Amino acid sequence: MTNTAEKKQIVQDTQIFMFKWSVSRSTGYNIVRIYLNDKKTKFYASGGNYDMEGTALGEFLQTDFQDRLKELFKDLEVGKHIDARKNKFYGAFKSCDSDSKILLDGATGKSSMIKILEAIDLRLEYVSETKNTTTYLLHNYKPETA
């Protein structure tokens, strides 16, 4: 019999995860969009002067992994932001709506979103970079006892 401290992580699935940069033909603003397995997603950020990759990543996490986020932040008070001085998960907020969704402010930084991503059993593994694309493998881990 094993105890919970001896858990192993096994990969449940892996996807190709890309940040692709472009410029809007209509506005001239920069755009970064997330692609999963070479398919365009609805997660993007545009403009500039803030962490656009972090913003797109935060949108992706809060949409596709809400159940995991609710479990991670179950003790967070409704309507409260994470205090960065007291908690490593800066950028999270529990909404005041009826289902108390966890909202992520990715403009606080891609590194903040990666800390949250890792806390909900996901990992980004860097693969390569071109002029307008950064490619990762997104590993979705499932805890399993040894």
Chain segment 31-86, per-residue pLDDT in tens: 999 999 999 999 999 998 899 999 999 999 999 999 999 998 888 777 766 665 56
Closest among 122, 108, 75 to 94, alpha carbons compared: 75
Residue 2: φ, ψ to 5°: -110, 155
* 37 to 41, 45, 64, 131, 135: CA distances (angstroms): 10, 19, 15, 19, 10
Centre a 10 Å sphere on the Cβ of residue 79 and count the other Cβ atoms it contains.
Answer: 10
Give the predicted TM-score (pTM) of the model. Answer: 0.86
pLDDT single digits (tens) 107-133:
989 999 999 999 999 999 999 999 999
Is the confidence at residue 137, as pLDDT, over 50?
yes
